[in-house]
Amino acid sequence: MKDTDFIKQLKNQSRDAYSKLLDDFQDKVFGTCISFVPNKEDAQDIAQEVFVEVFKSISKFKGDSKLSTWIYRITTNKCLEFIRKRNTKKRFAFLQSITGQHFIIDKTQYFTEMNHPGVILENKEKSKALFAAINDLPETQCLVFTLHKIDGKSYQEIAEITNKTISSVESLMFRAKKNLQKILEHYYKKNL
């Protein structure tokens, strides 16, 4: 089936077309989500939201980019939105604690438990440090580093998803690695 026919069927909300879309993309979308949010349950919720968004917004899809690129764009936006919300919650809790307002801190709400099926148990603690460090990067660097290093996407694919040139993706990767080095150095100096 041609891509245009397939998109037409998706726009017509055909059940078969969505079944095929899920067959083709569920692992890829879930893989990207868990690369950003290393928790199986959270990643599953975000991945589901991605498909709901595709369903709602497919009528706006003009075909300027590949369908896969468009879906990855939605996926990365949803993941970054989730991370932003989680960080705002953390900041709010911190502000409340320094202004002296009494409330019980539910730590599980602010720190996602590391539950990534692709990480072996002996690497769990170090992976936690890695994901925490990635989370401290500026958003664009976090996006590019995660897509390339964790999700395994090529610079070409990342350039298409983020609407940037390959050279700017390379420069963001360079800065991300440099910043990660600094963040981890600071972390280990404090903890070793």
| Chain residues that interact with other proteins, rule: CB under 8 A | 13, 15, 18-19, 22-23, 26-27, 29-31, 34-35, 40, 44, 47-48, 51-52, 55, 116-120, 123, 126-127, 129-130, 133, 149-150, 152, 177, 180-181, 184-185, 188-189, 192
Minimum CB separation of residue 102 from other proteins in Å reads: 37
* 72: CB partners within 8 A, 6+ apart: 28, 29, 32, 157, 161
The least CB distance from residue 25 to other proteins, in Å, is 9
Q: State how far the Cα of 34 lies from the Cα of 112, in Å rounded to an integer.
A: 12
Nearer to other proteins, 162 or 179 (CB): 179
- Smaller CB separation from other proteins, 118 or 138: 118
Please tell me the number of Cα atoms within 13 Å of 29 on its side-chain side. 29
How big is the chain, counted in residues? 192
Q: Smaller CB distance to other proteins: residue 19 or 88?
A: 19
Query: What's CA 187's distance to the chain center, in Å?
Result: 23
| Euclidean distance between CA atoms 6 and 77, whole angstroms | 24
Q: Which is nearer to other proteins, 70 or 145 (CB)?
A: 145
In the complex, the smallest distance separating the C-beta of residue 113 from other proteins, rounded to whole angstroms, is 16
CA–CA gap between residue 78 and residue 92 (Å, rounded): 21
Q: Provide the minimum distance between the beta carbon of 119 and other proteins in the complex, in angstroms, as a whole number.
A: 6
Q: Which is nearer to other proteins, 16 or 106 (CB)?
A: 16
Residues 48 and 74: beta-carbon distance below 8 Å: no
Work out how close the CB of 170 gets to other proteins at its nearest, in angstroms, rounded to a whole number. 17
User: What number of other Cβ atoms are within 10 A of residue 56's Cβ?
Assistant: 9
